[in-house]
Structure 1
Amino acid sequence: MNRAAARLAKTLARVRWLEGLLSGLRTAWKLGRIIFPVTLAVSLLRYTPVYEFLLSGLSPVMGVFGLPQEAAVALLLGNLLNLYAAIGAILTMGLTVKQVFILAVMLSFSHGLPVESAVCRQVGASLAAVLSFRIGLAVVSGITINLVWSGGGAQAGYGLASGGGPEPSGPLEITTGALQSAAVGVIQISAIVIPLMVFIQVLKDLGALERFAARTRPLVTPLGIPAHGSITMAGGLLFGLAFGAGVILEQAREQGFTRREITLVLLFLCACHAVVEDTLIFIPLGIPVLPLLLIRLTVAVALTAVIATVWRRPVTVPD
């Protein structure tokens, strides 16, 4: 027992704990400067004429996806805020299983655009490319599922899920709610990013990251992604573009990806990220979630491989 304890103590002594903590704090600060103002602005936007204008522009085209006009509310909230806001809107609608599934697939590809796109921009990816890719996937997938799937006509059962609280009324309540949402977003990110970066530092100092990268090389190489990009991929797949941003930003800084490499990583993650949370969150809506996951993963692998084949010239990311 004493020998085992001594070995453990010796192993832990190799870890640069302070470096991991400082890395987490730096990343949380960087993300907080993005998330707070973006979340505040978008939360306030819901109560302005701009929101109604956007909604009026989306409503007439819902028929292309086989959706009622009211579904535009869910798409707009999901894209401007997050999946939870979109699901809150869906719970108020009497939709079929097919319609809910179409919304789930579209929102899986395209959601939280202001925050997640800002994170991608910080890493060095083209904002226009990220937005076009995600919105394009959502549009194409919605139209395709509507045309191909003839089933799913039964009324969707929402199980134990329930809608959100009452809408705020008056400028003070709206502003207070927006500030609260922005603050909670920063706290949530920090609570995940700081311990995650300490954990990454532990893995790094113990040599686990290098072994992980070596073993995943056969999986990421066909996608045009270098082996050291597997850590970034894993962070995004498990935690998403926002919550996994700590890993993404830190790895981008340390590994010195070319613009091609980081763009391929991010395009893959745009199509398929936070695979656990973003899949399980739709279970209460009564839709088949395994096909949802398989669609995202298949599209991510296929499109990234095609783009990697077409785009062969590496360009170094400027400092």
Structure 2
Amino acid sequence: MNTIKKGLAVGLKTTWILGKIIFPITLLVTLLQYTPVLPWIVNLIEPFMGVLGLSGDAAIPLVLGNVLNLYAAIGAILTMELTVKEVFILAIMTSFAHNLIIESTVAAKVGVKLWVVVAVRIFLAVASGIIINLVWHGGNEIAQYGFVSNTANEQVSGFGPILLQGLEKASLGILQLAMIVIPLMIMIQFLKDFKWIDRFSNWMAPFLKLLGMKENTSTTLAAGVVFGLAYGAGVMIQAAKEDGVSKKDLYLVLLFLVSCHAVIEDTLLFAPLGIPIWPLLLIRLIVAILLTMIVSFVWKRVELNGRKEATYEN
């Protein structure tokens, strides 16, 4: 019973910390949908779409995915006639960079600079789009969409209904957050109290060592990969306090997660859009591993050079 109480307390506290970020931003982004801001962004990037192998119209789902979420992007894709290649490029780009405002702000709460999170995600999205466009010469047939639950935003008019929609979405966002974070924290507390976390960490140790991270990052990494960046950040905040996760490891975990988070849900969302989903999953996983390994290697070299310089000065 003490374990449940402790986990519940941590879950509620984490929900409160993240909720203070998610609620106002969700409300703001919802209101922005009814302003000229999003169309202005679409018009701004439309001329550059050719470099990514996309038609000008594809700027709409790309922006919606970046600012809102994958559901909004998919909802927009369903209204367009796009090739398999275009849909795949949109899928991989929005997988790397979706819900940027909320997820990146929440991730920054961990202690990683906001601009780093945003810059990495946008870079991965743009780079992946350009590379796939250059490398893949197939996929020119029109994508055949299967049954998809279109959860794109319902359009309303009038300030009152718009505000109500924003408040509703923000509240649902907090509810969804609580429904995942609180049970997750209780489960993690059980794992800690029964020493299963140690076993899991030992099992993950070889993989984490490959990425340049310590064993105490295993829970955070697993939570982010399965549940998503925002929820992984919730676990990360707690882990930084309780498990003594270093600043370096926090950065490495977050770099991995910005590339590869919520892989099950995010990947399956695109399954009905007539594109190959296994390459989508593998690209995200491989990019996450390589990016984390490279940054870890560079970080070690910088630390080593710093120690050498300090030794010479002494």
Normalising by the residue count of structure 1, what TM-score does the alignment of the two structures yield? 0.91
Pairing 1:93-112 to 2, within 5 Å after superposition: 93-112=80-99
Alignment match, 2:177: 189
Cα deviation for residue 260 of structure 1 reads 1.5
- Measured in 1, the distance between the counterparts of 2:222 and 2:176 equals 20
Q: Structure 1 residue 160: deviation in Å?
A: 1.1
Task: Tell me the C-alpha RMSD between the 2 structures.
Answer: 1.5
Q: Deviations over 1:5-45 (max 9, x none)?
A: xxxxxxxx6x5221111011101111110100011111111
Counterpart of 1:60 in structure 2 is 47
Secondary structure at 1:236's aligned position in 2? helix
| In 2, Cα distance between equivalents of 1:165 and 1:220 | 39
* 2:31 is aligned with 1:44: yes
2:196 is matched by which residue type in structure 1?
Answer: A
CA distance in 2, matches of 1:61, 1:75: 12
Contact 1:24 1:194 in 2 (8 A): yes
Letter in 2 for 1:238: V
User: Could you tell me how far 1:219 is from its partner in structure 2?
Assistant: 0.3
Matched, 1:147 2:129: no
State the distance in 1 between where 2:4 and 2:286 align: 38
d(CA) in 1 for partners of 2:148 and 2:78? 8
- Opposite residue 173 of structure 1, the aligned amino acid is P
Aligned length: 302
Report deviation, 1:166. 4.4
Alignment partners' CA distance in 2, 1:169 and 1:290: 40
- Inter-CA distance 165–83: structure 2 relative to 1 (3 Å threshold): closer
Corresponding residue SS for 1:95: coil
Give the letter for the 1:37 counterpart: P
- How far residue 75 of structure 1 moved from its aligned partner, in angstroms, is 1.1
Q: Give the partner amino acid of 2:199.
A: R
SS at match of 1:157: coil
Partner of 2:146: 159
* Conservation of the 8 A alpha-carbon contact between 1:197 and 1:246: no
The alignment partner of 2:228 has SS state of helix
Is the contact between residue 72 and residue 153 of structure 2 (CA under 8 Å) also seen in structure 1? Answer: no
2:208 to 220, 228, 236: 220
From 16, 19, 41, give the equivalent of 2:3: 16
Unaligned runs of 5+ in 2: 307-314
Q: Deviations over 1:281-302 (max 9, x none)?
A: 1101111000000000001101
Aligned residue in 2 for 1:290: 278
2:24 aligned partner, one-letter code: P
2:259 counterpart residue number: 271
Q: Using structure 2 for the length normalisation, give the TM-score.
A: 0.93
- For residues 40-78 of structure 1, what are the alpha-carbon distances to aligned partners after superposition, in whole Å with 9 as ceiling and x for unaligned? 111111111222221211111111111111111111111
* Superposed displacement of residue 165, structure 1: 6.5
Letter in 2 for 1:256: G
Q: Distance in 2 between matches of 1:56 and 1:73?
A: 9
Cα distance in 1 between the residues matched to 2:274 and 2:230: 26
Structure 1: gaps of 5 or more residues: 1-12
Note if contact 2:11-2:186 (Cα within 8 Å) is conserved in structure 1: yes
Aligned to 1:87: 74
| 1:95-134 mapped onto 2 (5 Å cutoff) | 95-134=82-121
